[in-house]
Structure 1
Amino acid sequence: MPALNLRIAALLLACAPLHALAFAPSDADKRFQAIYEKEWTWRQEQTGQADEDTDTSGDNTRLPDVGAPAQQARLKVWEQVLKDLDGIDPAQLSAENRINLAIYRPQVENLAAEVRLRAYEMPFNSDSSFWSNLSFMARRQMKTADDYRAYASRLRDVPRHFDQHIANMRAGLARGFTVPRAVLDGRDVSIAAVAELKDPEQSAFYAPYRKMPARIPAAEQEALRKEARAAIREHVVPAFGTLLTFFRTEYVPKARTTLAAEAMPGGKDFYAQQIREYTTLDLSAEQIHRIGLEEVARIRAEMQEVIEQTGFKGTFAEFLTFLRTDPQFYAKTPQQLLDRAAWISKRVDGEVGKFIGTLPRGRFTIVEVPADIAPFWTAGRGGLGTYWLNTYDLPSRPLYNLPALTLHESSPGHSLQAALAQEQGEQPAFRRDNYISAYGEGWALYTEKLGKEMGIYETPYEDFGRLTYEMWRAARLVIDTGVHHKGWSRDQALAYLRDHTALSEHEVTTEVDRYISWPGQALSYKLGEIAIVRLRAEAERELGPKFDIKAFHDAVLKQGSVTLPVLESQIRAFIAASKAGPAKAAAAAP
């Protein structure tokens, strides 16, 4: 952690609880606000786009410029922002802005580091890609003819956008900075699905035109549909065809044969930065590996206790085989899986208010993962307004895992947290609209454990599913650092996840390939959850009978998305205020 960040952290621990006092903005506050508001507005103009979690594309008529010159130009802006921040004394900021600075500075540091390390030369992994994320633009609500025209303009810009990505990937190939060859087989399916499209109206990109707002006159609707069909046929499909040819004839044959991030040019710095970005902590790969091994051993003992509750008499390995093969644990149709997830989420609705004081107004829906990306996606994913559930290959989607998955991805996990973050109107946009993985994934994993207190797990098998999901995240700490730092093979990583969890073979494979191709991201879940569990235990110990579970969860969730050091400082401020009495606790609420 940079020295200035340590200084900010020290000030956070010493500062008065948030909102405990009213401050007139100082000159430092005004300068800081001007810096982040200007940079944030510029950032949205530069990088606004759609993905599975958000859509910041707005009314842009072009997709982001991802070419190397534009990337380097952004780096200069972020480096200047960091210099400007150096000129602000955190001690002169209000309590609110000390928190904001402690969140904003690492955000900009990470953006600058990504460009400095030329991470844009590897713009996809086995789980997510720029070409698949592009289709999520089609889910944006369009209300006017101008919205549709801007969308069609973005579709016509796909060839330029893809050509820039291809140029960046060629530069990555030239220096050995690529996704490993071992995880690339079959990843061209989602490209081919569009490249080989014959009818534009069958494209996911055409979805917004199937039901258009009645306020748009019928004749204009037809003109807009004609524009979309031409954009898809003449621009989108050929661009995907070019990308498919490049992927098959250049990228896959020339991709590196190593697995470890540290084996790439500049790989040690790259992996260290990935750890810093995704965990928000100053931990080494060795430290994280040891934490993972300790967590794996602890959870394994809890698993054995649950197995005994089921009455199963075989070995641990035999129990895993039983769970993976017995038909009672699997849905027979996609709709059955969706229905069960909906039932679980409604049961959560009846309990969540007993554990969280402030609930969001925003709601979420449950949607099947699109067929073109489902084979390589995780079991589910949640975000603002949507819980994506993967119904591909039903024998790999056990029902005993579904309660934990639903808690994590929808409520009280990602969908609830994202909605609350959006509704924190007093917070700056860089907090409301940004996602810090260690906090967001840590909270979502914590809610899986909270589901036990809520009574969501109805059988020992579902409770074992909860533990297998926790073990899955603990094993990630071991596997990610094992592959990228210790030189583990793919088979070694597969065996470790297979032997320690009840995940299906399909999930074991897709998950390990995800960790291989996306260094560091998998570390955020368990480290974030460990922090929240530790802080709750501290609050319970310090407050005794004064501990209020709803108030504690409100204190965690009202932060928006924050780094783990900031979360720790804020929860300790909450504990101190709660000791002083309800009035001061309310005043300390962020």
Structure 2
Amino acid sequence: MKLSFHRPTSRILIAGTLCLVFLLGTVLGWANTHLFSADSRFEQFTEELFQKEVSGNMLNLHYSLAYPEKKGIQRPKATLGTISLPSSQLTDTSSASLSNTSSEAEDFTSQTLKKLQTFKASGLSESNRPTLDMLLLYYKTQADYQDYSILYEPLSPSLGIQAQLPVLLAEYAFYQKQDIADYLNLLVSVEPYFESILAFEQEKSQQGYFMSDTTLDRVLDQCRSFIKEPDSNYMLDIFAEKLKSFGKLPQKEQDILIQKHKQILLNKVIPAYQNLILGLQSLRGTGRPSQGLAHLNGGKKYYEYLIKSQTGSYTPVREMQKRLAGQIAADMNNAQKILKQNPSLLRKLNSHFDLPEMEPQDILTALCQKTGKDFPALPETDYTVRYVHRSMQEYLSPAFYLTPPLDTRTPNIIYINPSDQRSNLELFTTLSHEGFPGHLYQTIFFGNTEPSDIRYLITSSGYIEGWATYIESYGYQYASNYLDDNDGSDYVCLTWLNRSINLCIYSLLDIGIHYYGWSQDEAARLLKLFGITNTNAISEIYQYIVETPANYLKYCWGYLCFLDLKTEWQTVLGNNFNPKAFHQYLLEIGPVQFPVLQKYMQKHLQKLTVKENGHSAAVNSDTKRRCSYLHLLLFSVIIKKSLQFQQCFR
């Protein structure tokens, strides 16, 4: 008989096998969640998209990232690039350059859009869904623009590249020594960059799209102002201050760099502006009359693109004008009620009743303290207030905020243009727009939510400027606390209504001039309805709007979209409406186009109504320049006149 023996399986082997199976399952589960999930694939794609977009030119990269190497991004050659001919996909004048050819830009946009369309929002996390919706809408809008890019105008007296470039270069921060070398190389590249702009303008001239002689003179005046005193140009002092603050170079090396910087400025930058002036002068008389985009071939379509890209809204133009007209009527009606109850306010309006004088730093501190009731809290934030150099005051906005790199979130710099501050109240509300709870506050708050990097680069101007304009109404409310007068609250309410009416009227003029082709005489007829008859004022308003299509709408329509969202929430929630919670939802979604914002705000509102009422509720969603030419006495215009101008669009 043959005996056989079966050796029992080792318990250690069994345990080891089970551990291996468990570990393998854990690894596969993690990989499925983090490597192969839709979220992980989407996040990887958006990061690659960010790196591709941000590294297009050195100026974009530097203002987005202080330390690009830490994100594995190699610095491109430190040049401003060129503007491509015959067209280029430029969407932001502050970006300063774009070196892709037209066909390359079209291919990139098309490929990006196709890739985005492979993702489904239902398969993404709540934080990624708005990003997908925002990117799809952005690249779809860019794709629709390709045929009209010859209409893009890189030069304008206040918002043009030639006006903004000195500020962008002057504020080029030095985080490491390489930044100093990059900055100097960027200065050297101004000359070839301006040559490409001039070539673009020559092409526009040949095709009948060059600017009017009136605009040309204003651009040339701005250029001459910058180069007027080359040996004392403000960029010289700023460079020396930045080297000193950098603190890592011996004085001898600083002196050498200061001298080199001056040579580059005198021998490269100033001549670049001089050559631009000469080249533009040679095109005098070849441009079109001073009139809106509607008079150009394709101009109406291009204006519709500008509205979408600048405001982040896709509301038809005729619906926009009705909403704007309705807001003017409502504001004037409210103003009349206040004046009827307190006629003595007219005397104070005419006597230039004002806030006591306050330093900008004190105003910003006060604003920080007063936002707690209406807005979620922020951690303590460092910021710096600076003044626009006298050589640029005539051509730059009343104030502006420079956003910091996303990887440092500092420095936060607010520039004030002293030539545009007409009252202490205006300074107070301007700083609410630029600082707290406006641009600076919104930027820091959204950054604290740790969004995807692409959200810093691709945003919505309508949201950003609309938010800051919407915030001004709170700025006026907060300002009333500093008026030692029983009528202080009504007074600041009237001045805010005046500001709102101004923006709406200018936005209607923008539509009339660029969509309907109004002449200056036709624009004057609208202004006359509101008592504006001064010829110089009308001419200045008309010319500014001709040169900056859709600019007023970016501020005004964005503000109205936020106002409409707030009204909707108040209507649905009634006494349960919480302004702080409402603003927190808006800020957490961040800068997206308004269809995207409305979609996710509606979802928040539905959740709240379910929570409050125990059932689903139907929710329906309807849906810089600071000019002071409109005198406060326009409130005495009878209300029916606010409706008459609607006939101008029929």
TM-score range, shorter chain: 0.7 to 0.9
SS of residue matched to 2:163: helix
SS of residue matched to 1:189: helix
Aligned-pair CA distance for 1:151: 0.6
Question: Which of 396, 413, 416 is matched with 1:386 structurally?
Answer: 413
| Inter-CA distance 421–393: structure 2 relative to 1 (3 Å threshold) | closer
Aligned-pair CA distance for 1:295: 1.4
Aligned mates of 2:435, 2:538 — CA distance in 1 = 23
Check whether the contact 1:125–1:514 (CA below 8 A) recurs between aligned residues.
Answer: no
Aligned-pair CA distance for 1:348: 1.7
Check whether the contact 1:195–1:238 (CA below 8 A) recurs between aligned residues.
Answer: no
Q: Which segment drifts farther, 227-236 or 118-127?
A: 118-127
TM-score (structure 1 length as normaliser): 0.82
Aligned-pair CA distance for 1:568: 1.4
> Residues 413-432 of structure 1, C-alpha deviation per residue, up to 9 Å, x if partnerless?
1221122233331x112213
SS of residue matched to 1:553: helix
Cα RMSD between the aligned structures? 3.5
Structure 2: which amino acid aligns with 1:209? A
Give the match for residue 395 of structure 2.
Answer: 376
Give the match for residue 354 of structure 1.
Answer: 373
Q: Does 1:267 align with 2:299?
A: yes
Q: How does 1:242-391 map to 2 (within 5 A)?
A: 242-250=275-283, 252-308=284-340, 311-312=343-344, 323=350, 326=351, 339=358, 341-359=360-378, 361-384=380-403, 385-391=412-418
Question: Which of 449, 469, 481 is matched with 1:424 structurally?
Answer: 449
Structure 2: which amino acid aligns with 1:448? E
| Inter-CA distance 242–63: structure 2 relative to 1 (3 Å threshold) | same
Q: Does 1:148 align with 2:180?
A: yes
Q: Which segment drifts farther, 95-104 or 371-380?
A: 371-380
Q: Which segment drifts farther, 383-392 or 450-459?
A: 450-459
Aligned mates of 2:526, 2:212 — CA distance in 1 = 20
| Inter-CA distance 143–274: structure 2 relative to 1 (3 Å threshold) | closer
Aligned mates of 1:185, 1:377 — CA distance in 2 = 16
Aligned-pair CA distance for 1:481: 0.7
Structure 1: which amino acid aligns with 2:50? W
Aligned mates of 2:385, 2:341 — CA distance in 1 = 32
> Residues 497-536 of structure 1, C-alpha deviation per residue, up to 9 Å, x if partnerless?
5864999998876554332122223223232222222222
Give the match for residue 490 of structure 1.
Answer: 520
| Inter-CA distance 85–203: structure 2 relative to 1 (3 Å threshold) | same
Aligned-pair CA distance for 1:188: 1.7
Give the match for residue 438 of structure 2.
Answer: 413
| Inter-CA distance 451–192: structure 2 relative to 1 (3 Å threshold) | closer
Aligned-pair CA distance for 1:360: 5.0
Aligned mates of 1:267, 1:346 — CA distance in 2 = 45
> Residues 169-221 of structure 1, C-alpha deviation per residue, up to 9 Å, x if partnerless?
1111222223444444333223113444442x534255222352332122221
Q: Which segment drifts farther, 80-89 or 174-183?
A: 174-183
Give the match for residue 122 of structure 1.
Answer: 153
Q: How does 1:389-408 map to 2 (within 5 A)?
A: 389-392=416-419, 397-408=422-433
Report the count of equivalent residues: 543
Aligned mates of 1:487, 1:144 — CA distance in 2 = 51
Aligned mates of 2:392, 2:533 — CA distance in 1 = 20
Aligned mates of 1:360, 1:496 — CA distance in 2 = 47
Query: Sequence identity, in percent?
Result: 19
Aligned mates of 2:257, 2:181 — CA distance in 1 = 7
SS of residue matched to 2:493: helix
Structure 1: which amino acid aligns with 2:392? I
Question: Which of 111, 123, 130 is matched with 1:92 structurally?
Answer: 123
| Inter-CA distance 108–569: structure 2 relative to 1 (3 Å threshold) | same
Structure 2: which amino acid aligns with 1:133? Q
Give the match for residue 576 of structure 1.
Answer: 606
Aligned mates of 2:211, 2:480 — CA distance in 1 = 39
Aligned-pair CA distance for 1:79: 1.6
| Inter-CA distance 30–575: structure 2 relative to 1 (3 Å threshold) | same
Question: Which of 493, 498, 501 is matched with 1:468 structurally?
Answer: 498
Q: How does 1:217-228 map to 2 (within 5 A)?
A: 217-228=250-261
SS of residue matched to 1:353: helix
| Inter-CA distance 375–165: structure 2 relative to 1 (3 Å threshold) | same
Structure 2 residue runs without a partner (length 5+): 1-31, 69-74, 86-98, 404-411, 613-650
Aligned mates of 1:312, 1:184 — CA distance in 2 = 46
Question: Which of 107, 114, 130 is matched with 2:138 structurally?
Answer: 107
Question: Which of 547, 550, 566 is matched with 2:596 structurally?
Answer: 566
Give the match for residue 16 of structure 1.
Answer: none
Q: Does 1:214 align with 2:247?
A: yes
| Inter-CA distance 406–43: structure 2 relative to 1 (3 Å threshold) | same
| Inter-CA distance 497–346: structure 2 relative to 1 (3 Å threshold) | farther
| Inter-CA distance 542–503: structure 2 relative to 1 (3 Å threshold) | farther
Question: Which of 39, 43, 53 is matched with 1:33 structurally?
Answer: 43
Aligned-pair CA distance for 1:162: 0.7
Aligned-pair CA distance for 1:329: 5.6
Aligned mates of 1:45, 1:79 — CA distance in 2 = 19
Aligned-pair CA distance for 1:85: 2.2
> Residues 245-267 of structure 1, C-alpha deviation per residue, up to 9 Å, x if partnerless?
122332x4322105121211211
Q: Which has the larger radius of gyration?
A: 2
SS of residue matched to 1:96: coil
Q: Which segment drifts farther, 368-377 or 256-265?
A: 368-377
Check whether the contact 1:383–1:410 (CA below 8 A) recurs between aligned residues.
Answer: no
Aligned mates of 1:237, 1:112 — CA distance in 2 = 37
